[in-house]
């Protein structure tokens, strides 16, 4: 099935970070901070994060912060959003540079987005989605500020999004989707509330996501896609059911989606690569304990050594 082209993926990510005059990077401009998180975490899992200048990255991240509200935008001068804020915090943690952050200011911004019913809005416009519950809970936990929200209500809201198949949707009644399941199970794991998950029912639904080609899909009857290697696998890991799928076939599927010449991983074999799927492919392989990769934490989506540093000191 071939090996992981680790060195080529490192080169690919470094080249994306430097690329100019390229339409894809123009369209990605507003997601810059998410892209930086995907790229940098991949580099760290590949044990090559020292290839970037951490001071440059950290000062750029800090310049994306909205000085009024305390949240982060997707790029310099852009409006703050919970998702961008989580990426910013995660990047700072990769470099162990939380010291530069006014933690109370950021965590007040995040906590301020909780609604009466326990859900979270992504921004001041009030869009509600369990993705934002995850962003908020993950972010506050990483900052040691979970006490700023009503965690019980936050958990209740997530549980209200549980479906008959054991999975979770974006809102109560929303269809189960592997990406949303990662967010909900992740948030429940972080708040110590996994007893709300019907592990066997959900585990079976998740392992039914493995298709004949070995890859995982996000919903029934959908095609397998590398990004679900992360969402499904991390969820299975959190509920201790990862051995229910055929791990070798999944690893082979991911490795088959590599661009062996120029590096990077695509959503499906022979498609164009991007940073997003490169991250999810490498993160999936990390959960599969692929040799040479740093282990990744399934709930915080950061390397385990980074998470240990946050919660247990160095």
99 binds other proteins (CB under 8 A): no
175 binds other proteins (CB under 8 A): yes
Whether 137 and 191 have beta carbons less than 8 Å apart is answered as yes
| Binding piece for other proteins, criterion CB under 8 A, among 139-147, 187-195, 212-220, 226-234 | 212-220
123-144 core/surface letters (b: 16 or more CB in 10 A; e: else): beeeebbbbbbbbbbbbbbbbe
According to the binding rule CB under 5 A, does residue 225 interact with Zn ion?
yes
Does position 274 interact with Zn ion (CB under 5 A)? The reply is no
**Whole-number Å distance between alpha carbons of 1 and 240:** 27
How far apart are alpha carbons 229 and 190 in whole angstroms?
21
Interaction between residue 44 and Zn ion (CB under 5 A): no
- How far apart CA 314 and CA 308 sit, in angstroms, is 7
- Which residue in the set 2, 27, 270, 313 belongs to the binding site for other proteins (CB under 8 A)? 27
Burial class (CB in 10 A: 0-12, 13-18, 19+), 176: buried
Closest distance to other proteins from the beta carbon of 298 (Å) = 18
Nearer to other proteins, 156 or 165 (CB): 165
Residue 208's binding partner out of other proteins, Zn ion, none, with CB under 5 to 8 Å set by partner kind? other proteins
The reply on whether position 204 binds other proteins by CB under 8 A is yes
Interface with other proteins includes 220 (CB under 8 A)?
yes
E strand intervals along the chain: 265-266, 273-274
Q: Which segment (170-178, 226-234, 256-264, 290-298) binds other proteins by CB under 8 A?
A: 170-178
> At closest approach, how far in Å is the CB of 166 from other proteins?
9
Q: Which is nearer to Zn ion, 239 or 257 (CB)?
A: 257
Q: How far is the CB of 225 from Zn ion (least distance, A)?
A: 4
CA distance 158 to 64: 30
Cross-strand partners of 296: 303
> Which of 9, 37, 43, 81 touches other proteins by CB under 8 A?
81
Q: How far apart are CA 310 and CA 314, in angstroms?
A: 8
The DSSP secondary-structure symbol of 213 reads: T
Do residues 202 and 214 lie in contact, with contact meaning Cβ atoms separated by under 8 Å? no
Residues that bind other proteins (CB under 8 A): 17-18, 20-21, 25-27, 29-32, 36, 52-53, 55-57, 59-60, 63-64, 73-79, 81, 123, 125-127, 163-165, 169-171, 173-177, 203-205, 207-208, 210, 212, 219-222, 241, 243-246, 249
Q: Which residues bind Zn ion (CB under 5 A)?
A: 225, 227, 267
């Amino acid at each position: 099935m071939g090996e992981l082209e680790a060195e080529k993926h490192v080169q690919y990510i470094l080249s994306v970070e430097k690329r100019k005059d390229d339409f894809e990077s123009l369209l990605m401009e507003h997601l810059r901070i998410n892209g930086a998180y995907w790229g940098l975490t991949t580099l760290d899992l590949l044990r090559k994060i020292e290839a970037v200048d951490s001071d440059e990255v950290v000062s750029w991240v800090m310049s994306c912060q909205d000085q009024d509200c305390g949240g982060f935008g997707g790029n310099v001068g852009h409006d703050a959003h919970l998702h961008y804020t989580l990426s910013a915090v995660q990047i700072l943690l990769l470099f162990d540079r939380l010291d530069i952050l006014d933690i109370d200011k950021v965590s007040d911004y995040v906590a301020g987005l909780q609604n009466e019913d326990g859900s979270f809005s992504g921004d001041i416009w009030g869009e509600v989605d369990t993705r934002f519950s995850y962003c908020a809970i993950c972010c506050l936990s990483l900052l040691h500020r979970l006490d700023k929200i009503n965690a019980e209500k936050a958990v209740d809201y997530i549980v209200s999004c549980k479906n008959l198949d054991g999975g979770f949707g974006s809102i109560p009644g929303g269809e189960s989707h592997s990406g949303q399941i990662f967010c909900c199970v992740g948030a429940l794991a972080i708040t110590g509330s996994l007893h709300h998950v019907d592990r066997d029912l959900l585990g079976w639904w998740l392992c039914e996501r493995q298709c004949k080609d070995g890859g995982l899909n996000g919903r029934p009857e959908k095609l397998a896609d590398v990004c679900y290697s992360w969402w499904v696998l991390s969820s299975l890991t959190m509920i201790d059911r990862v051995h229910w799928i055929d791990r070798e076939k999944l690893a082979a599927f991911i490795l088959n989606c590599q661009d062996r010449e120029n590096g990077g991983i695509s959503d499906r074999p022979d498609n164009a690569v991007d940073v997003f799927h490169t991250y999810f492919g490498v993160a999936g392989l990390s959960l599969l304990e692929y040799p040479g990769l740093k282990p990744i934490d399934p709930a915080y989506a950061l390397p385990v050594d980074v998470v240990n540093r946050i919660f247990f000191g160095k």
